[in-house]
Amino acid sequence: MYDEARFFTVTTDHIEGTRTSLERRQDALLGVHYEYVQSPPTWRRRH
């Protein structure tokens, strides 16, 4: 979701007290992306 020079690391370490299951959260991820990352289109449609 970064536009440049950023990364994150995923490990298999479990943090006690957190869930151990994976769940689909695409809608939530898209919501965050649209709100904080995505820029408005810079092009205009020709008529």
- Domain range annotation of the chain: 1-11+23-36
Torsion of CA 40, 41, 44, 47, to 10 degrees: -100
| DSSP letter for each residue of 1-19 | --SSS-------PPPTTS-
- pLDDT at site 33: 82
- pLDDT at site 16: 93
- pLDDT at site 2: 63
Tell me which DSSP letter residue 37 carries: T
pLDDT per residue as tens digits for the range 1-47: 566 777 777 888 888 999 888 889 998 888 888 888 876 556 655 55
- pLDDT at site 42: 62
Hey, what amino acid is at 18? T
